[in-house]
Every structure is written in C-alpha cells, then in structure tokens.
Amino acid sequence: MSDHPAAPRPAPKQRRAGITLRQRGAVAARALAAILGGYGVAALSTNALAAVLPLRPVEAVVSATLTGLAVYPCAAMWAFAARSATRAWVGLALFAVVPGLVLLARSGGQS
C-alpha cells in the first residue's frame, strides 16, 4: 500500500448486520433464568426464612418477604452477570439448594 493519499484503499470487509440466532437464544436463556430462576430462588428463600426466623409468625413472614424482594433482583442480576446462560442456571440452582434443604429439614422430610 502506498503512502500517497490518493492511492486506492481496499474496501473494508462487510459484516453481516443483525443478531445471530445463537445470540438471541443466549439472551432468551438468561432472561428465563432471571425471571423464572430468580422467582424460584426468591420464593424458596422467603419460605425458608419465614420458617426459621425467631419472630411471631406475622413478623417473620413480613421480614422474609421484604428480604425476598431484595433476593429477586440480585438473582436476576446474577443471571446476566454470569459468563454463560449455563453458569447462570447452575448458580441459581446451587443457591436454591440451601433454602430447599432448610424447608426439607423443617418439614421433617414429609410432603
């Protein structure tokens, strides 16, 4: 290539505009993890916390619900901060194990 300003330059490579189907799927999987997984984690956390708080039942439910309202957006942010949609789902599932075990222990293994 010449340093002369009038010299012809090669045309830049054309990039295909738009979002690929794979990218759309990844965003959809993260959105589902944020919405459904976040709701599940928040619901499990709320139930487990309400069951173990040493307060009157009404106060325990209100306190647990307020905490659940903070857990849900954190879970949703986690879903979009994880490196992949798979890691988002796995992280949410792992977080759901602890309150799930607490609820299982409180129920004595009965349905």
Tens digit of each residue's pLDDT, the chain (111 residues) = 556 667 777 777 766 668 899 999 999 999 999 999 999 999 999 999 999 999 999 999 999 999 999 999 999 999 999 999 999 999 999 999 999 999 999 988 676
> Does a structural domain hold residue 29?
yes
Predicted TM-score of the model (pTM): 0.77
Residue pair 72/38 in contact by the 8 Å Cβ criterion: yes
- Domain extent for 30: 20-82
Give all strands (DSSP E) within the chain, no chain letters.
none
Helices 85-107 and 57-81: angle between axes, nearest 10 degrees? 160
> Does a structural domain hold residue 25?
yes
Report d(CA 93, CA 38) in Å as an integer.
10
Structural domains in the chain (count): 1
For the purposes of burial, counting CB atoms within 10 Å of the CB of 51, is it exposed (0-12), middle (13-18) or buried (19 or more)? middle
